[in-house]
């Protein structure tokens, strides 16, 4: 039986071996009964008895000093902060200049003012400049002005009084064959100006800010003409919803008396303006209005001119585009005529009405030192003022275009400065007229003005001015004969030399090209003239 079992077992093993993977044909499984066996436990023959460490408390012995310490505090005063011990620089409040030039032309100029003061200021200005050439072109300009300011807690008061006396000669007489004495051609103008004003001081921008001005002048000549003019103006400003509302109110009375007539005029102006501000733009809206009455008319006239302006920053702080409309009644005064054309002898006082003007342009900065402005405007104007020549009165006379004339203007301006060392200013104007009269008599259609200043080491200050004007037409009113006025190029140069901070020399050279042009018909200007002298500041 055992042999049989062994044979069967062998056969099974052989078959199982053939059934395995050929890679495992060297492995055999042995099956038998498992009998676990435990080794004897090894016991520690004795119990552990660890040593207890001995801890001893240290014996401390202190010896305290018998001296008592002083506990009184020491106080040090803290030095206050200050901006320094340097005093404010002393101002050079006074200026004096004395000189002489060809054409027998002395000059004296003085300016005196008070020192630095928190409550008041005052000053005086005096000037004399004249020339006495061999011909009849002598002139004399004299000025005196006193002014003062008073600063208070709630406002500031300003007052000034000025007196000017000018003498010219009507040397452009007709016909040239008549020998006039210089005294026969003499014309003297004198004007007294008085001004007083008050401006309030506000700490809260939401409150009303205003300034009031009262002005009076008395203008006379030695030919029997006199003009008195009084103005009372007020400007009020207040913010509404964060935007400023400005209102200008004025009353102007004018009395002009000549040998031939007397004219009284009253003007009442009301000009409000409201500005809306945005992040990159603003809009202004308002109007100019005038109530007008004169003694030669029977009706009270009212003039109303809407005005508006809008601007937008194309590039922040560099280029701004703007456009607007406006209008205004421009009053003509005898004093204003003489200031523009001192050879005026026969005149009318028609107010020039700027009925409607539209304008637009660009302005901004090319760099930190260079700024520019370019503008175009077109206006419809009534009673546009021009000048002609009157051979009977041997002087200039006014010419008004009583129709609705058109006036277009292109203006370009460039400014460049480099600190206090160099300054450049250039202005160009081009005018185009649409008139009923044949020509814009005595008015140019193209002008330029260039001004340069160059500071060399704070020792030499050089100034140069160039003024140009194109050809113009003038007219002799008696015979209705027109004349050509040549183009003008006037080049002027001045040099100031600072010998010390307070003492210097000056040299002024006018009309370097010696061009004796006629700004007004038959009144030639001086040729090359030079003026030099001493200047002192203290």
Flag the least confident range among 39-48, 214-223, 435-444, 485-494: 39-48
Query: Which is higher by pLDDT, 178 or 102?
Result: 102
User: What pLDDT score was predicted for residue 392?
Assistant: 75
Number of other CB atoms surrounding residue 10 within 10 Å:
10
Q: Say which residues have a Cβ less than 8 Å from residue 118's Cβ, sequence separation at least 6.
A: 151
User: What pLDDT score was predicted for residue 240?
Assistant: 92
Reported as a pLDDT band with limits 50, 70 and 90, residue 463 is very high
Average pLDDT for 190-214? 94
The reply to whether 464 falls in a domain is yes
Average pLDDT for 195-220? 94
CATH number of the domain bearing residue 378: 2.40.170.20
Average pLDDT for 75-101? 75
The reply to whether 304 falls in a domain is no
Judge whether residue 163 has pLDDT over 80: yes
Judge whether residue 492 has pLDDT over 60: yes
SS3 at position 8:
helix
What's the longest Cα–Cα distance across the chain? 183
Reported as a pLDDT band with limits 50, 70 and 90, residue 368 is confident
Parent domain of 500:
346-538
The reply to whether 22 falls in a domain is no
Average pLDDT for 154-170? 96
Average pLDDT for 96-116? 95
Flag the least confident range among 11-20, 30-39, 457-466: 11-20
User: What pLDDT score was predicted for residue 394?
Assistant: 72
User: What pLDDT score was predicted for residue 391?
Assistant: 78
Number of other CB atoms surrounding residue 354 within 10 Å:
19
Flag the least confident range among 44-58, 278-292, 364-378, 432-446: 44-58
Reported as a pLDDT band with limits 50, 70 and 90, residue 522 is confident
Average pLDDT over all residues of the chain: 88
User: What pLDDT score was predicted for residue 171?
Assistant: 85
Tokens of 258: 């000549």
User: What pLDDT score was predicted for residue 325?
Assistant: 98
The reply to whether 232 falls in a domain is no
Based on its alpha-carbon atoms, the radius of gyration of the chain, rounded to whole angstroms, reads 48
* Cα–Cα distance, 404 to 427 (Å, whole number): 28
Judge whether residue 176 has pLDDT over 70: no
For the four alpha carbons of 471, 476, 477 and 481, in that order, the dihedral sign comes to negative
Reported as a pLDDT band with limits 50, 70 and 90, residue 136 is confident
Judge whether residue 87 has pLDDT over 70: no
* Cα–Cα distance, 51 to 373 (Å, whole number): 104
For a pLDDT cut of 70, what percent of the chain falls above it?
A: 82
* Cα–Cα distance, 320 to 79 (Å, whole number): 52
* Cα–Cα distance, 316 to 297 (Å, whole number): 53
Judge whether residue 260 has pLDDT over 90: no
For a pLDDT cut of 90, what percent of the chain falls above it?
A: 70
Average pLDDT for 46-53? 64
CB environment 408-419: b (16+ within 10 A), e (fewer): eeebebbbbeee
Of 492, 415, 494, give the one whose Cα is nearest residue 454: 494
Judge whether residue 32 has pLDDT over 90: no
User: What pLDDT score was predicted for residue 20?
Assistant: 45
Judge whether residue 51 has pLDDT over 90: no
* Cα–Cα distance, 306 to 289 (Å, whole number): 8
Q: Is residue 160 within 8 Å of residue 150, measured between CB atoms?
A: no
Flag the least confident range among 179-188, 251-260, 333-342: 179-188
* Cα–Cα distance, 427 to 440 (Å, whole number): 21
For the four alpha carbons of 181, 182, 183 and 189, in that order, the dihedral sign comes to positive
Judge whether residue 54 has pLDDT over 50: yes
Reported as a pLDDT band with limits 50, 70 and 90, residue 23 is very low
The reply to whether 410 falls in a domain is yes
Q: What DSSP string describes 270-335?
A: EEEEEEEE-SSEEEEEEEEEEEEEETT-SS-EEEEEEEEEEEEEEETTTEEEEEEEEEEEEPP-HH
Q: Say which residues have a Cβ less than 8 Å from residue 257's Cβ, sequence separation at least 6.
A: 225, 226, 227, 263
Q: What is the DSSP letter of 439?
A: S
Of 496, 508, 507, give the one whose Cα is nearest residue 537: 496
Query: Which is higher by pLDDT, 42 or 419?
Result: 419
pTM of the model: 0.81
Judge whether residue 9 has pLDDT over 80: no
Look at the chain and report how many structural domains it folds into.
1
User: What pLDDT score was predicted for residue 257?
Assistant: 96
Q: What is the pLDDT of residues 397-454, one digit of tens each?
A: 999 999 999 999 999 999 999 888 999 999 999 999 999 999 999 999 999 999 999 9
The reply to whether 105 falls in a domain is no
User: What pLDDT score was predicted for residue 253?
Assistant: 98
Secondary structure tally for the chain: helices H, strands E? 2, 27
Q: What is the DSSP letter of 499?
A: S
* Cα–Cα distance, 131 to 72 (Å, whole number): 87
CB environment 495-513: b (16+ within 10 A), e (fewer): bbebeeeeebebebbbbbe
Reported as a pLDDT band with limits 50, 70 and 90, residue 283 is very high
Region of 134 on the Ramachandran plot (φ > 0 left; ψ -120 to 50 alpha; else beta):
alpha
The reply to whether 215 falls in a domain is no
Tokens of 237: 């400003």
Flag the least confident range among 59-73, 108-122, 129-143: 59-73
Reported as a pLDDT band with limits 50, 70 and 90, residue 18 is very low
Q: What is the pLDDT of residues 320-345, one digit of tens each?
A: 999 999 999 999 999 999 999 999 98
Flag the least confident range among 82-96, 108-122, 203-217, 512-526: 82-96
Average pLDDT for 290-314? 93
The reply to whether 166 falls in a domain is no
């Amino acid at each position: 039986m055992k042999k049989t079992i062994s044979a069967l077992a062998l056969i099974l093993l052989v078959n199982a071996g053939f059934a395995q993977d050929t890679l495992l044909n060297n492995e055999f499984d042995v099956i038998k009964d498992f009998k676990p066996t435990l080794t004897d436990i090894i016991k520690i023959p004795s119990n552990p008895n660890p040593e207890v460490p001995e801890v001893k408390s240290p014996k401390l012995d202190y010896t305290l000093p018998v001296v008592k310490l002083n506990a009184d505090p020491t106080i040090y005063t803290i030095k206050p902060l200050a901006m320094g011990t340097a005093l404010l620089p002393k101002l050079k409040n006074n200026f004096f200049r004395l000189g002489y030039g060809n054409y027998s032309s002395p000059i004296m100029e003085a300016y005196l003012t008070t020192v630095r003061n928190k409550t008041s200021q005052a000053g005086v200005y005096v000037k004399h400049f004249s020339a006495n050439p061999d011909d009849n072109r002598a002139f004399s300009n004299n000025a005196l002005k006193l002014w003062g300011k008073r600063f208070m807690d709630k406002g500031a008061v300003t007052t000034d009084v000025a007196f000017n006396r000018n003498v010219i000669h009507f040397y452009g007489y007709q016909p040239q064959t008549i020998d006039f004495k210089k005294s026969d051609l003499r014309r003297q103008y004198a004007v007294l100006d008085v001004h007083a004003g008050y401006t309030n001081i506000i700490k809260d921008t939401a409150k009303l800010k205003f300034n009031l001005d009262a002005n009076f002048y008395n203008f006379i000549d030695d030919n029997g003409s006199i003009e008195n003019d009084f103005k009372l103006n007020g400007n009020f400003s207040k913010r509404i919803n964060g935007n400023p509302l400005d209102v200008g109110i004025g009353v102007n009375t004018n009395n002009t008396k000549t040998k031939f007539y007397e004219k009284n005029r009253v003007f009442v102006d009301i000009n409000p303006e409201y500005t809306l501000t945005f992040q990159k733009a603003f809009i202004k809206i308002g109007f100019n209005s005038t109530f007008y009455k004169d003694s030669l008319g029977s009706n009270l006239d009212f003039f109303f001119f809407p005005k508006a302006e809008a601007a937008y920053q194309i590039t922040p702080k560099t280029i701004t585009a703007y456009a607007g409309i406006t209008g205004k009644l421009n009053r003509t005064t005898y004093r204003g005529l003489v200031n523009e054309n001192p050879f005026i002898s026969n005149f009318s006082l028609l107010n020039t009405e700027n009925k409607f003007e539209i304008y637009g342009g660009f302005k901004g900065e090319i760099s930190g030192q260079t700024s520019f402005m370019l503008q175009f405007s077109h206006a419809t104007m009534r009673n546009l003022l021009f000048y002609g020549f009157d051979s009977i009165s041997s002087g200039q006379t006014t010419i008004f275009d009583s129709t609705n004339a058109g006036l277009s203007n292109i203006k370009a301006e460039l400014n460049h400065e480099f600190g206090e060392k160099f300054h450049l200013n250039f202005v160009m104007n081009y005018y185009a007229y649409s008139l009923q009269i044949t020509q814009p008599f005595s008015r140019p259609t193209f002008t330029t003005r260039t001004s340069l200043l160059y500071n060399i080491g704070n020792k030499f200050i050089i100034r140069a001015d160039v003024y140009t004007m194109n050809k113009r037409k003038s007219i002799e009113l008696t015979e209705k004969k027109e004349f050509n006025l040549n183009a003008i190029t006037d080049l002027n140069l001045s040099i100031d030399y600072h010998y010390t901070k307070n003492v210097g020399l000056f040299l002024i050279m006018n009309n370097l090209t010696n061009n004796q042009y006629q700004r007004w018909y038959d009144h030639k200007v001086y040729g090359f003239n030079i003026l030099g002298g001493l200047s002192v500041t203290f």
